[in-house]
Chain A
Amino acid sequence: MIQATINRKPVTVPEGTTILEAARQVQVKIPTLCYHPDLPPTASCGICIVRLEGTKRMLRACCTPIEEGMKIITHDPEIVEVRRTVLELILSNHPNDCLKCGRNQSCELQNLAADFGIREELFTKFIGGNPKDDSTNAFVIEPDKCIHCGRCIEICQEIQGVWALSFLGRGFNSRFAPAAGQKLVDSPCVLCGQCASHCPTGAIFEKDDTLQVWQELQNPDTFCVVQIAPVVRVAIGEAFGMSAGTNVTGKLYTVLRRLGFNAVFDTSFAADVTIMEEASEFVERFVHKKGPLPLITSCCPSWVIYLEKQVPDMVEYFSSCKSPQQISGLLTKTYYAEKMNVDPSKIVVVSIMPCTSKKAELTRTEEMFASGYQDVDYSLTTRELARMIKQTGKDFANLPDSEPDHLLGDYTGAGVIFGTTGGVMEAALRSAYSFITKEKLGELEFEDIRGLDGVKELSIDVAGSKVNVAVAHGLGNVMSVMNRVREARDKGEPSPYDFIEVMACPGGCAGGGGQPYGVTDEIRAARAQGLYQDDREHEFRLSHENPCVQQLYKDFLGEPLSHKAHELLHTHYVKRTTG
């Protein structure tokens, strides 16, 4: 343990603790700007400087480990003046667009400016005049709002390993931009949105589709339907002061109806359908040798983009099954429309996703129009829905619970755990086991593939055969798994894995790019716990036991992997350089 003093008060902390963390012991939250608890510090803004007592030497609290005997002063008049000057310098290079900016009220720079009582523009304003980039369907990049914190680049390069973003140029002219100054859509970007969810300002912001959704809701001719992704229910509460992981499913159903949606569905139902198809796919390959192993999940659209851009040689392993979002929309405009006698041309499907690349998935290929119409019309992020709710003034926290429309709304525990890393695999194994052995698994929870380790492995016995699975989350962790598969393939050896789940975002959808700001591993874990709890509280915990799913196949699809199922619920993949 290290003994030191901060503001002349003693602190005792384990070795390696930064000054920033140690200061919490004496109830000081040193102001920071570029620092994000989810990332290693970039140490660029200079706001968190503290003084070595009695000297002129300044240290950055966010990255400097506290040493034995160190005497730190966190604020004195000179330090406060310097922090304010640094802030004023940053503001002199930032547009005054708060009232028109998507981060109004949630911007970290704005918060600091308010805290420091900025009242005048002390320095000449210099705005870069760099053009906006809205070349993708998911984001808008406004480089002039960038404060060079480096978080997006750190996460895109080091953690996701995608390298779509970088700093270009030098000094005052340095700017953050897609690699080589391309448009974002032409870069390696997979639209995972980790950059946007970590950005302190409005420099990278999701394309806001709420205005169009309001218009659809107000249009008397449309029949608006909404589907909610699994993890939204344990995260959206954070925007209303609740702790991460609080399950607000019932309130969500209520508020969506009160917003004007004619039907409220749950994507977790479609997740169950996905499992029907995918577990069957697995059985086809594993038992009947009708396709190569490993089977790799494909419900994460950023993972699909990554596959198509970076590892197209692995396409043959991909499950052809569409994602739950697309399946839900497709079933709405066919099965539901038929059953409930609604004109599918009037149906508008809106999905609420923790994800930004779902916006691009809507028009990925012509198969996304398999219903004869665009299967899903809009995809909103958790953040966008939170804003819509706030715009209506509804007191979300105090809303009563209600139920979804059961036809496409009832789900099992297996469906809802899709929202966290390892969840898809667990759900698939639960059903695949039953499909193969005709028995039910004794233990439904697989600890080995839960949690936040980058790559998790598991081996289970299924009717005397070993099924080896791997779960990877965070794209930076994926390549090592892919390379092991490639190596075995090139040597002609059996694959080390039979089934692989990949989620592009660290933590899976729980840490999705569209989720509320300020994610940390703690928060990812709390959201995951919320989902596991929901699973435990469900009567049905295996996808194929869902009565509504059984009815769907009986009345409409026939069997998993039937001709109709293939036509409507499956897709294909191509090598891409852009998009």
Chain B
Amino acid sequence: MATMTAQDFDAIKESVQAGNKNWIKVGMSTCGIAAGASNTYRALEDELTNQGQTTVSLRTCGCLGMCHAEPLVEVCIEGLPRVVYCNVTEDCAREIVRGHVMGRKLLQDHILAMHYEEAFS
């Protein structure tokens, strides 16, 4: 294949960022999986299908560092703030789809709102 150039990198960046509108990310490293994230993922997948939701992409990611609060699910729906939910059981996962995604209402008592400093942007 042709050697990648800076322009290729830029193009990939643009394409990835363009796709990032509505998504749900489930933390699926060992800490998450040990806490039940696989079930959480399946519940989300199932409920999204139940609700006929096709524009929200369900993805996986690594460990956010708050392992005591796994399973962690980050939700980004256009027009709503991006939030991380903690201790997301299967029931809670379904509630996320119904309440947050479909009903556009953030869930109470489940958000992790940690603030970090980003070492670089």
Question: Do A's and B's CB atoms come within 8 Å in the complex?
Answer: no
